[in-house]
Amino acid sequence: MVEELSKKSCTVTNRVSISMLFAESSAQPAQLQAIVDEAFESTAQLLDGINPTELRDRFKQLTLVYSTVQLELVDDPVAWSRFLATTCDVLQQVRIHQNTIASMGDRLAVWDRRPIGVNEFVASLDRFARMLIEDSRKLRYAIEHQAFGETVHRRPAMVYSDAVCGVMIVLVAINQSVQQDDPLNADCAAMAIFGADLIRSSVEQLNEICERGCL
């Protein structure tokens, strides 16, 4: 199940990334709405296929591993550079588009590497899933009109794409750990924490858009 979800998440991420790039430049409202709706639907299907109990257990295990390597990633430039290279290699292996890999490189460059707890991660993921149901009209409006508040520094289309990428990175990291039969793999742990933090920060920005009432 983990491997299947990991593969599906890569497909969805590539599809959503292309859709959001198109959303940035499309001038045809009807076509744009159909593209955004398809992106929402594919994301919702991905999230719906996740087993929350299994995800929580596997993520908790990786957070424990990360707690033992966090300081090294913060203090040792060599260890950090190696992790960056490994992460890019993994994303290439699972066939994520190069533009998306470059975007994730930008996100990694500003990542503070702080831990993220299991409950915080699950809450962000749950909020993302509910957002696609409860706030889909507001999200669609924000993306179509590129409406964003003063504290939202990136366009909604790209923030949404980042959130989906975060889900993919967590699932890929978990699958890598399973496939390698190495629950103590530090790179997988760090990747999972980065993906979770990307979900958290992106969902916070998307939530702000929805709370501001873009309709």
Q: What is residue 149's three-state secondary structure?
A: coil
Assess contact for 143 and 33: CB atoms under 8 A.
no
Instruction: State the pLDDT at residue 32.
Output: 75
The pLDDT value recorded for residue 27 is 56
DSSP state of 198: H
- On whether the CB atoms of residues 156 and 196 are closer than 8 A, the answer is no
Alpha helices per DSSP H over 76-155 = 77-93, 98-109, 118-134, 136-145
pLDDT of amino acid 74: 95
Burial label, 72 (beta-carbon count in 10 A; 0-12, 13-18, 19+): middle
Residue that is written with structure tokens 């790179």 in the block: 187
What DSSP line would sit under 21-58, residue for residue?
A: HHHHH---HHHHHHHHHHHHHHHHHHHHT--HHHHHHH
CB 165 within 8 A of CB 198: yes
What's the confidence (pLDDT) of residue 157? 87
Q: Please give the chain's pLDDT, 215 residues, in tens.
A: 678 999 999 999 999 998 887 766 665 666 777 888 899 999 999 999 999 999 999 999 999 999 999 999 999 999 999 999 999 999 999 999 999 999 999 999 999 999 999 999 999 999 999 999 888 888 888 887 764 444 445 688 899 999 999 999 999 999 999 988 877 899 999 999 999 999 999 999 998 887 775 44
pLDDT of residue 212: 72
How far apart, in Å, are the Cα atoms of 39 and each of 33, 131, 160, 214?
A: 10, 13, 10, 19
CB 68 within 8 A of CB 185: no
Structure letter (DSSP) for residue 135: S
- So what's the pLDDT on residue 213? 56
The pLDDT, as a whole number, for residue 149 is: 42
DSSP state of 184: T
| Count of positions (residues) in the chain | 215
Rg of the Cα atoms in the chain:
17
Which pLDDT score is estimated for 141?
83
Collapse the DSSP code of 51 into the 3-class scheme (helix H, G, I; strand E, B; otherwise coil) and give the result: coil
